[in-house]
Amino acid sequence: MKITDIKSYPVRAGARNLFVLKIESDEGYYGLGESGVSGRELAVRGAATHFREFLIGKDPMAIGALWQETYRSQYFEGGRVLTGALSAIDIALHDLVAKKLGVPVYQLLGGAHRDHVPCFATSSYPLQGPEVIEDAVKMVEEGWSVIRFTPGHPHVEGDATLFEPRDSIAVTAEWLIKVREALGPRPVLGIDYHHRLSVAEAASFCQMLPPHTLDFLEEPIRDESPEAYHALRSMTNVPFAIGEEISSKWHFLPYIERGLTNFARVDICNVGGFTEAKKVAGWCEAHYIDLMPHNPLGPICTAASIHLAASAPNFDTLEDRTREGLTYSKDLFPVQPALEGNRYPVPTGPGLGVEFNEDAADGDFEFWEAPHLHRRDGSYTNW
């Protein structure tokens, strides 16, 4: 069997852009993959176009060797754009090979450890008003046992792109304490600060919270400096959930080896696909770290994350955005994972269990920029 074509589809899908990749073979089998470099899909397409030139004619069954060849095919190896493209290729190869063999992808990864994949959902409201308490209570009634929140911010100037960290941590801590009081000790509560804080600001936020207010703090600061996370780790005992930006096992190394994360937010569409994600998962298992995969993208990312979660013994919960309305049309994805309550069933059909309508995607792309947040003095800060 040989690879005959690799097609790239940067596509607008509802409220966001996706990058979908399709690998075709001379035996009629094909696989689908997805990249996680949101907002820079055309850059990923450029990288995938370069990789296509030497991958056509290769044996798609040689997944591990193709990963190594693709990663090492340039002097400037690594980086999020290149590994985003490699992730899409690796996921598509697993889908193709699993279809060829007539098995679900997780059977290529050692088989399933569970019959369903539990998920967490995010509240529809930021932590800055009584509606967030009402929503959190409703989520518990709906069956969610792990709930994530987004930070509050008093936009007194009426500017949605204004973000002052000290204002945010004050109001967020105030309302997070009230949410915990309303829900009691049983639900698992987390918050995603989306790397918008400094070490001092993140430490101050944690120190505002009584014990067991928060079960995990997600991405409080950027991940470029493990030393910064080491300093923050020494200032608080709140568990960290880190890793959605991390693009290789080497990048994950200090966070695992030095105990800087308690939950690995591995993103299969950024880290290098199944081949790399399974290595990170095994490494985490050796350090008693559970996976909490990042899953903010399309149905291919969700399906791949489900198969990864099914195959990993050290799995906690999967991010799911369905409750927030992040769903995709059946015209574009005629077959896609379906949430059942607060979980996904582990699929039993061949491949990933996703279908993509190329005709519905052709030529449909819009430029999108993440919010360019700024502080009161006019300087830019992280989104």
Tokens of 291: 């996976």
**Cα dihedral 314→217→191→128 (10° resolution):** 170
pLDDT in tens, 222-246: 999 999 999 999 999 999 999 999 9
Q: Does domain 108-350 have CATH number 3.20.20.120?
A: yes
The per-residue pLDDT for 241 is 98
In terms of phi and psi (left: phi > 0; alpha: psi -120 to 50; beta: otherwise), the region of 133 is alpha
The per-residue pLDDT for 248 is 95
- Rounded CA-CA distance 33/353 in Å is 12
- Rounded CA-CA distance 54/249 in Å is 24
The per-residue pLDDT for 157 is 67
Instruction: Locate the DSSP E strands across the chain.
Output: 3-13, 16-25, 30-35, 116-126, 146-150, 188-192, 216-218, 240-242, 263-264, 290-291, 318-319, 343-345
- Rounded CA-CA distance 9/22 in Å is 8
Q: Could you state, in order of their start, the residue ranges of all structural domains in the chain?
A: 3-103, 108-350
Long-range pairs for 313-317 at CB < 8 Å and ≥24 separation? 313/113, 313/285, 314/281, 314/284, 314/285, 314/288, 314/289, 314/290, 315/113, 315/114, 315/117, 315/290, 315/291, 316/263, 316/290, 316/291, 316/292, 317/118, 317/119, 317/120, 317/146, 317/292
The per-residue pLDDT for 78 is 86
In this prediction the pTM is 0.96
Q: Which residues of the chain have pLDDT under 50?
A: none
- At 209, phi and psi to the nearest 5? -100, 135
Q: Which of 23, 32, 93, 31 is nearest to 56 (CA)?
A: 23
Tokens of 293: 């995969």
CATH T-level assignment (fold) for domain 3-103:
Enolase-like; domain 1 (3.30.390)
